[in-house]
Amino acid sequence: MTDGAGERDGGNGSGRSADGWPVDLTGVVESVVTTLGPNERWNVAALGLHAGAPVTAKTYGRTRTWRNFRERGGGYVQFTRDPVDFVDAALAVREVDEPVLGSATWELEPVDSGVERRVVPTTNRGFYAVVEATVAASRLDVDAYDTQTLLDRLAYFEGVVETSGGDRERAAFERIEDLVDAEW
C-alpha cells in the first residue's frame, strides 16, 4: 500500500515524509481504513501499517476489508485520535455513508495563516492502552494466538485505562467490553 509515487522526496518543503506519506511512520502504526463494500457503503476497519518502502498492511482472514480491497482495489487510510472510533473500527461492524471519518486528522494547505491557539499534544497512557487492548481483542479468535495470554493483556490494559485514561478512553474500553464475548 503506497501513494503510488515510490520515490523519496524528503526535504522539499511539501510537509510529507521522505516516502510521500503525510507523516513519518515507524514500526507498526495503527490506522483506520474505509473500503467501499458491495452495498455502496464504506466499511470502517482498523489496519496496522508496517513502515518501510513501501508501507505495507495485512488483513487477517477473509474479512470485509479483505473482500473490499480485493473487489474494489483501494480505500481511504486515516489517522484518528478518537479511541471510541478506533475500537469500533477494530471490533464492530461499522458502515458509513462517507469515506472519511469526522475524527480523521487532516493535512491542510492554508491560503492565509495566523496563530489563533496553540495545542500541545500530550501523551495519555489510557489511549495507548485502548489501542493495545483493541489489538489483543481482535486476535481472540485467531488460532495463532494464545487466548489466555490475550485475556491477561486485556485485564492489564483495563487497569491502565482506569488509572490513566480520561472519559473517552473509559468509554472506549466499555465499548470493548460490549463487543468482546469473553471474561477477563
Cβ atoms 102, 35 nearer than 8 A: no
| Count of domains observed in the chain | 2
* C-alpha–C-alpha distance, residues 84 and 91, integer Å: 11
Range of the domain at 132: 125-179
Could you tell me which residues come within 8 angstroms of residue 178 by beta carbon, excluding any fewer than 6 positions away?
none
CATH number for the domain including 140?
A: 1.20.58.290
Q: Indicate whether 70 and 143 sit together in one domain.
A: no
Q: Indicate whether 87 and 130 sit together in one domain.
A: no
Lowest mean pLDDT of 113-117, 147-151, 168-172, name the range. Answer: 113-117
Q: Indicate whether 93 and 170 sit together in one domain.
A: no
CATH number for the domain including 69?
A: 2.30.110.10
Q: What is the pLDDT of residues 49-86, one digit of tens each?
A: 888 888 888 888 889 999 999 999 889 999 888 999 99
Q: What pTM does this model have? A: 0.66
Of 18, 46, 52, 20, the C-alpha closest to 34 is 46
